[in-house]
Amino acid sequence: MTSLDTPVGLLLVNLGTPDAPDPPSVRRYLAQFLSDPRVVDLPRPLWLPILYGIVLNTRPKKSAQAYQSIWNHDIGEGPLKTITRRQAERLAARKFDGKAPVIVDYALRYGSPSIASQIEALMAKGCERIALLPLYPQYAASTNASVADAAFAALMRMRRQPALRIGAPYYDDPAYIDALAAGVRRGLAALDFEPEVVLASFHGLPQAQVDRGDPYRQHCEETWRLLGAALGMAEDRLRLSFQSRFGPAKWIGPYTSDVVAELAESGVKRLAIVAPGFSADCLETIEELGVEIRELFLEKGGEKFARLPCLNDSDEGVALIETLARREIAGWV
């Protein structure tokens, strides 16, 4: 057997979830997440006292209640973990042509299974070549770069290292846009009403990070433009917004809460919302959009509201991941 016949590892990576929907577990998760300099890039002497003195003593209880409401209690895990695992399982069932077998698994940047542990597990199965696929369509240092940081930090501790590839952002990839458009069409067709407006809500980012050169906003706007073209929707029918602000700093806008309130107050009665930047439904889509934003819309005068699901492990979602995977392992199999 030559090195080109050895298994190729394919690791899907998403953000993460606490191990349980209780305050101690959420506190551990938030501590790992919010202490990452890629996520909060303030000077450590300034941020860490705030994080450990205030944030981690106030936020975990409230967040635990939100996680409790969306938790998959029958299997003991959050929906993001469940969906990412199913994406990996469905991808593993696909046939990859070539002499080298492909071993598919998944990892979470924060929480478990970790990127480091999954790289080690793939190496233990004989994978000398591993491709990581960050499931973040739009590049941000706080997501894509953080995955690379964790992967290379793991390699730094290894005597024998695998060859490693990290998938590129795919915000304007035709396969991604086609999958999004198909998912939106299916979601709208399942509704018992026709929305006057569809709102594309992306996760927010501090304005300061964009000012320092992060291309995230540009990527989101391009996805929104291409999705509108694919759906045949003008900008006043498919609107753009950003959600999930944290802290007092200015974040990129317009904010989803502001747009939803303005739409309702201007007379829009029927609204659907989709989250194109999320590859799997999670707290930010199920609870924030599906509960908090829904309540806001109805409170401001709206009458019909729907949250469309993410691509998740749908046929379109898995086909997209397969397209990206084949591209990244080309030449290895």
DSSP of 125-153: TT-SEEEEEE--SS--IIIIIHHHHHHHH
Q: Could you give the CA distance from residue 84 to residue 79 in angstroms, rounded to a whole number?
A: 8
pLDDT interval class at 30 (50, 70, 90): very high
Q: With 0-12 CB in 10 A as exposed, 13-18 as middle and 19+ as buried, what is 268?
A: buried
Tell me whether the omega of the peptide bond preceding residue 79 falls within 30 degrees of 0, making it cis.
no
Residue 5: its pLDDT value, please? 79
> What percentage of the chain has pLDDT greater than the value 70?
99
Average pLDDT of the segment spanning 38-43: 94
Q: Which helix (H) or strand (E) holds 264?
A: helix 256-265
Alpha-carbon gap, residue 195 to 272, rounded angstroms? 6
All structural domains of the chain with their residue ranges: 3-169+316-328, 174-307
Q: Which residues pair with 203 in a beta bridge?
A: 243
- Percent of the chain at pLDDT exceeding 90: 94
Query: From residue 114, how far is each of 12, 14, 163, 167, 244 by CA, in Å?
Result: 11, 10, 18, 18, 24
Q: How many CB atoms lie within 10 A of CB 46?
A: 10
Supply the pLDDT for residue 125: 97
Q: Which fold has domain 174-307?
A: Rossmann fold (3.40.50)
Q: What sign has the CA pseudo-torsion 177, 181, 187, 192?
A: positive
Per the omega criterion (within 30 degrees of 0), is the bond before 113 cis?
yes
Give 116-163 pLDDT, tens digit per residue.
999 999 999 999 999 999 999 999 999 999 999 999 999 999 999 999
Interval 58-80 mean pLDDT = 96
pLDDT at 96: 84
Give the pLDDT confidence score for residue 2 in this predicted structure.
60
The CATH class that applies to domain 3-169+316-328 reads: alpha beta
Residues 107, 154: Cα–Cα separation, whole Å: 13
Indicate the average pLDDT of the chain: 96
Per-residue pLDDT tens over the stretch 244-301: 998 888 999 999 999 999 999 999 999 999 999 999 999 999 999 999 999 999 999 9
Q: List pLDDT tens digits, range 95-111.
A: 887 778 999 999 999 99
DSSP state of 5: G
pLDDT of residue 3: 66
What pLDDT does 1 receive?
53
